């Protein structure tokens, strides 16, 4: 142990099996990243400037836009630097930051989807008591709970990962630092950290998905009992956008974390979809399907 040198930096090789496609990947990832920033910033501006959108639903959507802004910025700028300037080196602190913020923002997004599903459940199943139940104090506590719980969750995972000794190879055959690629380089027994991290990572999305599913089962039962078809269609329409982004988020997550032996050929595109593409799609889904947000955009540009 005395002769081992602890690592102070890692080398990211980028997306496996993409040699010769650097220019295409750079333009593609840069375009997606700019669209993500623009879309989420526009949603934030519309919600903040239009008093009609100062409701619990758009308060949580505002939190989701902030998460997507951060989530898309975890690895994309560094990956663009790898493609453009072949700057493959990342410091130990930078690698720790990527691991922490990836699980911090990913967990926050997961919890926000759950809170948004609960908000829809209260709005549809208890409309007369909606403003009483979902008052601003409750909304603020729910949002704060999402951020604080996720910070503890990410801190535990990051601490467990980087308390391991890293004293061998520092080459990561991936495009960003995540727990499983990083611990492959540890020069110690990683069976415990694998078990703990898989349990923690899997428990959060599975619990959230179960709660979301329960909310929509109650919503579906309430819609079936509605006498007015118009009210039923309106209830379904208000939930459609949320259901779409939930599928975007939980679909790849289910495959990634329930099939840990998934090959890089399948795992890498799913990881890219979760981390890079989904933050761009969320504002598009809420914009294209939401008349109130589109009206706020028209108001912003003087239409």
pLDDT, tens only, 270-294: 778 878 888 888 888 877 667 778 7
148 Cβ contact partners less than 8 Å away, ≥ 6 residues apart: none
Distance CA(136)–CA(59), nearest Å, equals 9
For residue 17, the model assigns a pLDDT of 73
- In this prediction, residues 157-183 reach a mean pLDDT of 83
Residue-wise pLDDT for 57-76, tens only, equals: 889 999 999 999 999 899 88
State the distance between the two ends of the chain, measured CA to CA, in whole angstroms.
69
pTM: 0.87
For residue 59, the model assigns a pLDDT of 93
The residue extents of the domains of the chain are: 9-300
Q: Which CATH class is domain 9-300?
A: mainly alpha
């Amino acid at each position: 142990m005395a002769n081992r040198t602890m690592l102070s930096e890692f080398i990211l090789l980028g997306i496996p099996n993409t040699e010769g496609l650097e220019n295409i990947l750079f333009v593609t990832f840069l375009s997606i990243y700019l669209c993500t920033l623009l879309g989420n910033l526009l949603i934030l501006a519309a919600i903040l400037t239009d008093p009609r959108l100062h409701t619990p639903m758009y308060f949580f959507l505002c939190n989701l836009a902030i998460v997507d802004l951060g989530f898309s910025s975890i690895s994309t700028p560094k990956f663009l630097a790898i493609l453009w300037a072949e700057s493959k080196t990342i410091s130990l602190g930078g690698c720790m930051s990527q691991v922490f913020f990836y699980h911090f923002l990913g967990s926050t997004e997961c919890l926000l989807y759950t809170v948004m599903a609960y908000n829809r459940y209260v709005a549809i199943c208890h409309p007369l008591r909606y403003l009483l139940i979902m008052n601003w104090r409750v909304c603020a506590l729910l949002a704060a709970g999402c951020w604080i719980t996720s910070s503890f969750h990410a801190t535990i995972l990051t601490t467990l990962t980087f308390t391991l000794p890293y004293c061998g190879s520092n080459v990561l055959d991936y495009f960003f630092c995540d727990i499983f690629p990083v611990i492959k380089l540890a020069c110690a027994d990683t069976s415990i950290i694998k078990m703990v991290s898989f349990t923690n990572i899997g428990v959060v999305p599975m619990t959230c998905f179960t709660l979301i599913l329960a909310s929509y089962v109650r919503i579906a039962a309430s819609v079936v009992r509605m006498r007015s078809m118009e009210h039923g269609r309106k209830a379904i329409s208000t939930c459609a956008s949320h259901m779409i982004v939930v599928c975007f988020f939980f679909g790849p997550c289910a495959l990634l974390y329930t099939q840990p032996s998934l090959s890089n050929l399948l795992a890498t595109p799913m990881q890219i979809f979760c981390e890079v593409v989904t933050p761009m799609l969320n504002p598009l889904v809420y914009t294209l399907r939401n008349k109130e947000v589109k009206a706020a955009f028209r108001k912003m540009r003087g239409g």
